[in-house]
Amino acid sequence: RKEVEQDPGPFNVPEGATVAFNCTYSNSASQSFFWYRQDCRKEPKLLMSVYSSGNEDGRFTAQLNRASQYISLLIRDSKLSDSATYLCVVNVGANNLFFGTGTRLTVIP
Amino acid sequence: ETGVTQTPRHLVMGMTNKKSLKCEQHLGHNAMYWYKQSAKKPLELMFVYNFKEQTENNSVPSRFSPECPNSSHLFLHLHTLQPEDSALYLCASSHLTGPSYEQYFGPGTRLTVT
């Protein structure tokens, strides 16, 4: 079983739409969680950390459900510039960082 | 952004060549990482250095040899690679190797082995 699983998409949504991605992880000892964004042929960039209480950064909201072992990312009022691949990342221990394969989002004008 | 830089950005090498990838971080971090990203696969952690000491080697073949002369520089020496080693090689750094320390990536070296 994969450490981190994501729906690869693609998700094609119109500008202004709300879109949500989910990610599940297999190791209940996972300690920290992140969403990274990766543009085509570029490096991953940290979008936001995911805290147990949930957190929001502008149009982006991240949630963590430890009981069900899933993480979500909600994007409101989608912009064309949000088109990218979103990587779910789980840290099991000091050096054990696991990445999902990513969910591809395309925002259509 | 120039927090983490990598050179070269693109590299084509034959299976008998020897080459090195270079990474430099300007963020004052103490930990550095090498990752491999192949098409349709998640990022795979290859090596971790914490305060210049290697702390993780995820069963990477010996044809990949890392070197960390100080906490700002990281190298990946390559020799007798195989075509399946073609991938994007990403360097990252973080303050420390702990669960809450966010990693920052360089732009990567796109490697093609012919």
How does pLDDT run across B25-74, given as a tens digit for each residue? Answer: 999 998 999 999 998 888 999 999 988 788 777 789 999 999 999 989 99
Q: Quick one: average pLDDT of B12-23?
A: 94
- Among B98, B102, B104, beta carbon nearest to A94: B98
Within an 8 Å CB–CB cutoff, is residue A11 touching chain B? no
Q: What's the CA gap between B13 and B67, in Å, rounded? A: 20
Measured between beta carbons, which residues in chain A are less than 8 angstroms from residue B48? 95
Q: Quick one: average pLDDT of A42-52?
A: 91
Confidence (pLDDT) at B8: 97
Measured between beta carbons, which residues in chain A are less than 8 angstroms from residue B43? 44, 87, 99
Confidence (pLDDT) at B52: 77
- Is the CB of residue A78 less than 8 Å from the CB of residue A29? no
- Host H or E run for residue B62: none
Confidence of residue A29 (pLDDT cuts 50, 70, 90): confident
Within an 8 Å CB–CB cutoff, is residue B97 touching chain A? yes
Substitution target from B102, B109, B111, B112 for chain A, most A beta carbons within 10 A: B102
Closest Cα in chain B, distance from residue A108 (Å): 23
Within an 8 Å CB–CB cutoff, is residue A34 touching chain B? yes
- Host H or E run for residue A69: none
Substitution target from A24, A38, A43 for chain B, most B beta carbons within 10 A: A43
Q: Do B90 and A43 touch (CB under 8 A)?
A: yes
- Is the CB of residue B34 less than 8 Å from the CB of residue A95? no
* Number of alpha carbons in the 13 Å side-chain half-sphere of residue A34: 22
* Number of alpha carbons in the 13 Å side-chain half-sphere of residue A57: 10
Confidence (pLDDT) at B98: 62
Query: Tokens standing for B46?
Result: 């290859």
Query: Tokens standing for B88?
Result: 């994007």
Q: Do B55 and A101 touch (CB under 8 A)?
A: no
Measured between beta carbons, which residues in chain B are less than 8 angstroms from residue A98? 42
